[in-house]
């Protein structure tokens, strides 16, 4: 033992570490993390048919929001307050018009499945290793381009934005990303929103397009995902400046693909065995159970449970942004739906035809490009088109494409704000670099809707 390393000094180090951890995660935030785990568990139980647990899920989410409110930035707090205000103003107007029910349960649980899904999938980070530590690069050129994009896409489909940041950080040159790398990694991440049940986009679309099934939607969205990859490849392959010849790839840990593969197989099996249970419920349950089982096999059950507990207390609070956004928009959705019930809004059409769907998609993408979050427009659009009895799959496809394409094309989307803040790319570049891709995906989706739904 080093003479300087006395028991007293070791105790001092341990105390200092504890103080640092306490500073990073004060007691109220750790309590919020514990409540968020309770929210996930009770949300799954409620979704499985034990409806009384929905109250516990909703109240746990509300308590977590209050405990984590001080962690949010001022702009997030203002945004959240606006959504709360819209929801309660709509309820007030409906009450003045004679509506006398107070939908407390709906206010608490409108988006509880989405919130639980987002919190639950974060546990998958415990068993995911994206990088092959034995290699420094996959090489240069087209092969490296495709290997990197597939890696970003598959890992993002399970661990979401975490995978995007891991890959982008490794690929940046200096403090920024070049155009080819930035747009390729960005789109590869966003395209996973078209089909992955672990994305909030899919949960939102299934929730606000009642009757749509995830397994059925895949047959419509996966071809569009392939189109997105081809558009991205073609743009960089034939672009005069930049191109793929000098593209330096990311050393993907191919052996770690078992995590996305295992999760998708588990979801498909569970969805087939329990078709009456929402895929959001199944994903939330599996996203916690699978890492726990894997860690139990790799280490021990006690270690796995302790890891889950520590992750809940220290890392779940990091999802405060999603908690605020989806809880507040759930309140807004409740208010809008109640107001629409009292005041049906006519679009001047009687049926939700493919042409109407394309027009709706154009409007939603326009709002995405000017900075309105997809969930806000999806909530409003769902209430507006509900009287038309739309085809659930066609509506869900419009919503999921809007979310995916809007996140890359909208200069102030959450994804592009991350690009600007972390990699020094301007809002104009985010818009201009992706404009042709946005128009191309809109055109491809429009043709696909006309072919499949006419």
- pLDDT per residue as tens, the chain (454 positions): 333 444 333 344 333 333 334 446 788 999 999 999 999 999 999 988 888 899 999 999 999 999 999 988 888 889 889 989 998 998 999 898 888 788 888 889 888 887 888 788 888 888 876 655 555 555 567 888 888 888 889 888 876 776 787 778 777 776 678 888 889 999 999 999 999 888 878 888 888 899 999 989 999 999 999 999 999 999 888 876 666 777 777 666 666 667 777 887 888 888 888 888 888 788 889 889 999 999 999 889 999 999 999 999 998 998 888 888 889 888 888 888 788 777 665 566 778 899 999 999 999 999 888 877 788 888 888 888 888 889 999 999 999 999 999 989 888 677 886 777 677 788 788 899 999 999 999 999 999 999 999 8
- pLDDT, residue 4, reads 41
- Alpha carbon dihedral 285, 218, 403, 153, in 10-degree steps, equals 80
Domain ranges of the chain: 175-251+344-454
Neighbours of 428 (CB within 10 A): 9
CA angle 382, 386, 387 (to 5 degrees): 150
Helix ranges (H only) for 134-257 are: 142-159, 161-171, 179-191, 200-208, 214-237
Q: Which tokens go with 338? A: 């109640």
- pLDDT, residue 147, reads 84
- Alpha carbon dihedral 149, 318, 25, 83, in 10-degree steps, equals 160
User: How does DSSP assign 372-431, residue by residue?
Assistant: --HHHHHHHHHHHHGGG---HHHHHHHHHHHHHHHHHH-TTSHHHHHHHHHH---HHHHH
- pLDDT, residue 18, reads 38
Which residues partner with 248 through β-bridges? Answer: 140
CA angle 247, 252, 253 (to 5 degrees): 170
- pLDDT, residue 254, reads 63
């Amino acid at each position: 033992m080093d003479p300087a390393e006395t028991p007293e000094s070791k105790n001092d180090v341990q105390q200092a570490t504890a103080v640092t951890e306490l500073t990073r995660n004060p007691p109220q935030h750790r309590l919020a993390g514990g409540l968020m785990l309770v929210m996930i568990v009770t949300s799954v139980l409620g979704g499985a048919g034990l409806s009384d647990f929905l109250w516990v899920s909703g109240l746990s989410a509300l308590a977590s929001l209050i405990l984590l409110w001080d962690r949010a930035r001022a702009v997030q707090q203002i945004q959240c307050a606006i959504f709360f205000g819209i929801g309660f103003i709509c309820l007030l107007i409906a009450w003045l018009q004679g509506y006398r029910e107070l939908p407390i349960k709906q206010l608490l649980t409108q988006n509880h499945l989405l919130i639980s899904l987002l919190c639950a999938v974060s546990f998958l980070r415990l068993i995911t290793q994206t990088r092959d530590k034995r290699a420094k690069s996959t090489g240069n050129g087209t092969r490296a381009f495709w290997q990197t994009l597939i890696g970003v896409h598959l890992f993002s489909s399970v661990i979401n934005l975490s995978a995007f940041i891991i890959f982008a950080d490794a690929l940046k040159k200096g403090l920024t990303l070049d155009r080819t790398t930035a747009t390729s990694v960005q789109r590869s991440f966003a395209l996973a929103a078209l089909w992955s049940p672990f994305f909030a986009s899919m949960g939102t679309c299934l929730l606000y397009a009642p009757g749509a099934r995830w397994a059925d939607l895949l047959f419509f969205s996966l071809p569009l995902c392939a189109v997105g990859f081809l558009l991205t490849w073609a743009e960089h392959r034939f672009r005069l400046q930049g191109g793929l010849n000098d593209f330096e790839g990311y050393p993907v840990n191919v052996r770690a693909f078992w995590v996305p593969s295992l999760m998708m197989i588990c979801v498909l099996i569970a969805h087939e065995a329990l078709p009456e249970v929402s895929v959001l419920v199944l994903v939330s349950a599996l996203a916690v159970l699978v890492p726990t089982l894997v860690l139990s096999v790799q280490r021990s059950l006690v270690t796995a449970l302790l890891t889950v507990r520590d992750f809940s207390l220290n890392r779940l609070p990091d999802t405060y942004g999603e908690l605020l956004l989806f809880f507040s928009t759930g309140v807004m959705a409740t208010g809008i739906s109640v107001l629409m019930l009292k005041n049906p809004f006519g679009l001047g059409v009687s049926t939700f035809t493919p042409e109407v769907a394309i027009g709706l998609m154009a409007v939603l993408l326009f709002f995405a490009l000017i900075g309105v979050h997809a969930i806000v427009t999806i909530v409003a659009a769902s209430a507006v088109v509900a009287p038309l009895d739309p085809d659930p799959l066609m509506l869900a496809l419009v919503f999921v494409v809007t979310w995916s394409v809007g996140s890359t094309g909208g200069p102030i989307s959450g994804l592009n704000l991350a690009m600007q803040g972390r990699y020094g790319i301007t809002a104009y570049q985010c818009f201009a670099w992706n404009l042709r891709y946005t128009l191309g995906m809109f055109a491809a989706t429009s043709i696909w809707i006309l072919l499949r739904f006419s």
